[in-house]
Amino acid sequence: MSDSADQDTITDRDLAVLLRDGHPGLDANLSRMALEQVVSNWENNPEKEKKLEFLRESPMGIDFVIPDIHWDAEEEEFYVGTNRGPGVLGEVASGGGFHVAAEFSREYVEAYREQYQELLDNSTLTKKQFLTYVMREANKNEYVIADALDVKTGTVRSHAGRAREKVQKAQATARIPELFEFEGYDELQENMESLLEPKTA
């Protein structure tokens, strides 16, 4: 990963690293928060509210809209994008339920990225310290982290050590370990699915 213009920005490639090797509790909580944000935005937008109700009435559930990992053959790297369910949601141009799900999914991916970005911005960590810390807390070994971040294992140890010190000292950064806790996958799935259930009269 290059330390260039995106050194402080969570990219789609970073999201793939976090989704694949990050902390499952943190990812679950941020995924839920992103979904709540998009649902709230659509509920409070007259045009999109109708689309949301259409989506809720359709047979497409949460699995059709959650962010997914893809491979970019040209860049030779993984990235997070829209779900590639039936109809290839991210590539559907117009028409029907898949179009609505694709639009929702695109906004969900962006909200998901924004949740991670906000967490990083409100911390005292550099991006690589943040990524390293989250993966170490997920019990990933130094070699996996070094490979994911394209750094040496000594750099992983250095980033992890500095990150832990900052997390212990900084109140804003300390919110990160709180988000490692979550209610469990079954309850999380039910909670997220309920956001896309049809509204009862």
pLDDT in tens, 130-189: 999 999 999 999 999 999 999 999 999 999 999 988 888 775 565 677 788 776 667 777
Check residue 190 and give its pLDDT: 79
Smallest Cα–Cα separation from 127: which of 163, 172, 171?
163
Number of neighbours of residue 172 by Cβ within 10 angstroms:
13
Residue 61 tokens, joined: 């559930």
Residue 167 tokens, joined: 């997390």
Residue 140 tokens, joined: 């990933």
- E-strand stretches of 73-119: 77-81
Model pTM score: 0.83
Rounded Cα gap, residues 6 and 172, in angstroms:
22
Extract the residue ranges of the chain whose pLDDT is less than 50: 1-5, 86-94
On the 0-12 / 13-18 / 19+ scale of CB atoms within 10 A, 174 is middle
Check residue 84 and give its pLDDT: 61
* Residues contacting residue 42 through CB under 8 Å, at least 6 positions apart: 48, 49, 51, 52, 104, 107
Check residue 90 and give its pLDDT: 44
Check residue 92 and give its pLDDT: 42
Chain Cα centroid distance, residue 178: 17
